[in-house]
């Protein structure tokens, strides 16, 4: 099945996004779509981990920064 936007404006894009959301919900893949836990990042990503446990879009960049901050905070309080 193939579908196309009815126009070329923002509404047409919103309609395509809504259609993709409905399809993802019907397929059961909607919970795999996440936003990076790094608030400064905000990247959306598709979590391919078996138990949907990913929280950062990239562990080397966003995850490393977050883990480093948490480690330093533990050292200060410990």
Answer whether 0.85 is exceeded by the pTM: no
Domains of the chain, earliest start first: 10-77 (1.10.3300.10)
> Does residue 12 sit in helix, strand or coil?
helix
18-40 tens-digit pLDDT? 988 999 999 999 999 999 988 88
Cβ-Cβ contacts under 8 Å for 66 (sequence gap 6 or more): 37, 38, 56
Q: Phi and psi dihedrals of 44, rounded to 5?
A: -90, 140
36-55 tens-digit pLDDT? 988 888 899 999 998 888 98
């Amino acid at each position: 099945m193939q579908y196309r936007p009815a126009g070329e404006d923002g509404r047409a894009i919103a309609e395509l996004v809504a259609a993709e959301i409905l399809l993802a919900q019907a397929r059961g893949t909607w919970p795999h779509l996440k936003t990076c836990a790094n608030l400064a990042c905000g990247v959306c990503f598709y979590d391919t981990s078996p138990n949907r446990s990913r929280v950062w879009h990239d562990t080397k960049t966003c995850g490393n920064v977050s883990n480093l901050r948490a480690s330093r905070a533990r050292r200060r309080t410990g």
